[in-house]
Amino acid sequence: MEADGIFVYGPMREGGRNHAWLMRTNPEGLTAAHAPGRLFHLPANGFPAMVAQEEPSQPPPGAGWVAGAFVGYEDEEALEGALEDLDPLEDVEGGLFTRMVLPVVLDSGHRYGAWIYVFPPDRLPRLEREGVELFNGDWKEYLED
């Protein structure tokens, strides 16, 4: 699957503390979307972590889907430039997050491939012990509650 953009689910979403960092990458637009995974809030760190999983049989929203935004770019070069700018923020080189392409479903029903910053699956046991699983998949809603 090729990536057509980036999917953000945490502090880079609109209203989040890192949204300005995302906007400096000059995206063409942002639209509500969902990606398949499990979402955890990390109280000690103050940010969420997503672990990718197989796409649920039921369409989003619901169990097994993470809420966020699909971020589109003018072309592949603009997308690559954005990733180069965002990778240090997500500490990809240091191994905090890894980046992978997953399917995303826009609220309109359209489907795309998107780069998503996720935690590796081998960290799942630690997330289950130390994190708060957000079964509705929406970190922004969790913070508002």
Q: Give me the DSSP letters along 24-37.
A: TT--SEEEEEEEEE
Candidates 112, 104, 114, 106; CA nearest to 82 is 114
**How high does pLDDT run on average in the chain?**
96
Check whether 76 has a pLDDT greater than 90.
yes
Count of Cβ atoms closer than 10 Å to residue 51 Cβ? 19
Compute, in degrees rounded to 10, the torsion defined by CA atoms 108, 61, 31, 106.
-40
Check whether 68 has a pLDDT greater than 90.
yes
* Distance, CA of 93 to CA of 95 (rounded, Å): 5
pLDDT score recorded for residue 1? 87
pTM: 0.96
* Distance, CA of 62 to CA of 67 (rounded, Å): 9
pLDDT score recorded for residue 59? 94
The domains located in the chain, with CATH, are 5-144 (3.10.490.10)
Check whether 139 has a pLDDT greater than 80.
yes
